Amino acid sequence: MALVLGRGLESFLLPRRRPFPSSPSPPPLPRGHLCYRMAGKSKAKNKGRGSSSTAVDSSDLNSKTVDLSLTAKNSGGDVTQSLTNGTEHHQASSVDEAMDGKVETTNSSTVPPKQAEGEVQLYPISVKTQAGGKLELQLSPADSVMDIRQFLLDAPETCFFTCYDLVLHNKEGSSHHLGDYNEISEVVDITMGGCSLEMVGALYDERSIRSHVHRSCELLSLSTLHTSTSTLLALQSESTKQKSADATKVETPELDGLGIMEDITGSLNNLMVSSTKKIDCLESLIFSSFNPPPSYRRLVGDLIYLDVVTLEGNKFCITGTTKAFYVNSSTGNILDPRPAKPAHEASTLIGLLQKLSSKFKKGFHELLNHKASAHPFENVQSLLPTNSWLGAYPIPDHKRDASRAEDAVTLSFGADLIGMQRDWNEELQACREFPHQTLHERILRNRALYKVSCDFVDAATNGAIGVINRCIPPLNPTDPEYLHMYAHNNIFFSFAVDAELRHVSHDHKSSVNSKVEHASEHCEHKKSSSSVKSSGDAFCGTNGNHCEHSAESLNSEGQGATSDVCAEAQIADCEQATYASSNNDLKGTKAFQEADVPGLYNLAMAIIDYRGYRVVAQSIIPGILQGKSDSLLYGSMDNGKTICWNDAFHSKVLEAAKRLHLKEHTVLDGSGNAFKLAAPVECKGIIGSDDRHYLLDLMRVTPRDANYPGSESRFYILRPELIASFSQAEAAETSSSKSEIVGAVTKEPDSQNGDVVCASNDEGKKSDAEHASTTADGAPSEAMLLNPNVLTEFKLGGSQEEITADEEMVRKASSYLMNVVLPKFVQDLCALEVSPMDGQTLTDALHSHGINVRYLGKVAEMTKHLPHLWAICTNEIVVRSAKHILKDLLMESLDHDIGQAITHFFNCFIGNVLPRGANASATKAHLASEHKGQQSPQSQNRTTKGHIRWGDGASANVQSAYTLLTSEKLWSYICGFARFKYQFELTDDARLGVKKIPVIRNLCEKVGIKIAARKYDLNAAAPFQISDLLDVQPVVKHSVPVCSEARDLMDTGKARLAEGMLNEAYVLFSEAFALLQQVTGPMHRDVASCCRYLAMVLYHAGDIAGAIMQQHKELIINERCLGLDHPDTAHSYGNMALFYHGLNQTELALRHMSRTLLLLSLSSGADHPDVAATFINVAMMYQDMGKMDTALRYLQEALKKNERLLGQEHIQTAVCYHALAIAFNCMGAYKLSLQNEKKTYDILVKQLGEEDARTRDSENWIKTFKLREQQANVQKQKGQAVNAASAQNAVDFLRAHPELVQAFQAASLGSGNSSKSLVNRSINSSMIGEVLPRGRGVDERAARAAAQVRKKAAARGHQMRPSAVPAQALPQLAHLLNIVNSGTNTNQAQPGAQLNKQNEEASMESGSTSNGIETENESVAKCEDHLPVGLGTGLTALDSKKQKLKTKA
* DSSP conformation letters of 526-538: HHHHT-S--GGGG
CB 640 within 8 A of CB 682: yes
Please state, as a whole number, how many other Cβ atoms lie within 10 Å of the Cβ of residue 82: 22
The maximal CA–CA distance of the chain, rounded, in angstroms, is 125
pLDDT of residue 956: 38
pLDDT of residue 1277: 77
Q: Rounded to an integer, what distance in angstroms lies between the CA atom of residue 1352 and that of residue 1342?
A: 15
Place 155 in a pLDDT band, splitting at 50, 70 and 90.
Answer: confident
pLDDT of residue 1121: 92
* More confident position, 405 or 108: 405
Which residues lie closer than 8 Å to 324 by C-beta, 6 or more apart?
345, 346, 347
pLDDT, tens digit (0-9, with 9 covering 90-100), for 390-407: 998 888 888 887 777 777
Beta strands in 376-452 (DSSP E): 390-391
pLDDT of residue 517: 39
**Integer distance in angstroms from the first to the last C-alpha of the chain?**
49
- Percent of all residues in the chain with a pLDDT value above 70, rounded to a whole number: 65
Res. 1177: pLDDT tops 90: yes
Mean pLDDT of all residues in 1424-1442 = 36
Chain mean pLDDT for the chain: 73
pLDDT of residue 988: 81
Least confident span in 816-820, 1111-1115, 1338-1342? 1338-1342
CB 249 within 8 A of CB 305: no
pTM: 0.75
Q: Rounded to an integer, what distance in angstroms lies between the CA atom of residue 453 and that of residue 9?
A: 13
CB 1043 within 8 A of CB 1076: yes
pLDDT of residue 857: 95
Res. 1312: pLDDT tops 70: no
Place 1262 in a pLDDT band, splitting at 50, 70 and 90.
Answer: very high
Mean pLDDT of all residues in 74-82 = 43
Least confident span in 212-216, 1043-1047, 1370-1374? 1370-1374
Least confident span in 785-799, 892-906, 1416-1430? 1416-1430
799 burial type by CB count under 10 A (0-12 exposed, 13-18 middle, 19+ buried): exposed
CB 1023 within 8 A of CB 1017: yes
Res. 1014: pLDDT tops 50: yes
Q: Rounded to an integer, what distance in angstroms lies between the CA atom of residue 20 and that of residue 100?
A: 9
Place 1351 in a pLDDT band, splitting at 50, 70 and 90.
Answer: low
Q: Rounded to an integer, what distance in angstroms lies between the CA atom of residue 1061 and that of residue 1057?
A: 6
* More confident position, 411 or 15: 411
Beta strands in 38-128 (DSSP E): 96-97, 123-128
C-alpha radius of gyration, the chain, whole number: 37
* More confident position, 580 or 777: 580
Rounded to the nearest angstrom, the gap between the alpha carbon of residue 886 and the centroid of all alpha carbons in its chain is 25
DSSP 3-state of 935:
coil
Task: Write the DSSP assignment of 1165-1217 as a string of letters.
Answer: -S-SHHHHHHHHHHHHHHHHHT-HHHHHHHHHHHHHHHHHHT-TTSHHHHHHH
Least confident span in 272-281, 724-733, 1079-1088? 272-281
Place 115 in a pLDDT band, splitting at 50, 70 and 90.
Answer: very low
1212 burial type by CB count under 10 A (0-12 exposed, 13-18 middle, 19+ buried): buried
Residue 681 φ then ψ, to 5°: -65, -40
CB 156 within 8 A of CB 5: no
pLDDT of residue 951: 33
pLDDT of residue 578: 65
* More confident position, 839 or 80: 839
Q: Rounded to an integer, what distance in angstroms lies between the CA atom of residue 1291 and that of residue 1286?
A: 9
Res. 632: pLDDT tops 60: yes
Mean pLDDT of all residues in 994-1011 = 94
Partner residues linked to 390 by β-bridges: 1011
Least confident span in 47-61, 137-151, 306-320, 898-912? 47-61
Q: Rounded to an integer, what distance in angstroms lies between the CA atom of residue 384 and that of residue 376?
A: 18
Place 376 in a pLDDT band, splitting at 50, 70 and 90.
Answer: confident
Task: Write the DSSP assignment of 566-578 as a string of letters.
Answer: -HHHHHHHHHTTS
Ranked by mean pLDDT, the top range of 944-958, 1095-1109, 1330-1344, 1347-1361 is 1095-1109
Mean pLDDT of all residues in 1238-1242 = 94
* More confident position, 1164 or 39: 1164
Place 540 in a pLDDT band, splitting at 50, 70 and 90.
Answer: very low
pLDDT of residue 153: 87
Place 546 in a pLDDT band, splitting at 50, 70 and 90.
Answer: very low
pLDDT of residue 85: 44
pLDDT of residue 224: 64
Least confident span in 730-734, 1137-1141, 1197-1201, 1364-1368? 1364-1368
Res. 454: pLDDT tops 50: yes
pLDDT, tens digit (0-9, with 9 covering 90-100), for 7-32: 232 322 323 333 333 333 333 333 22
Least confident span in 26-35, 168-177, 1103-1112? 26-35
Res. 300: pLDDT tops 90: yes
- Percent of all residues in the chain with a pLDDT value above 90, rounded to a whole number: 44
Res. 620: pLDDT tops 90: yes
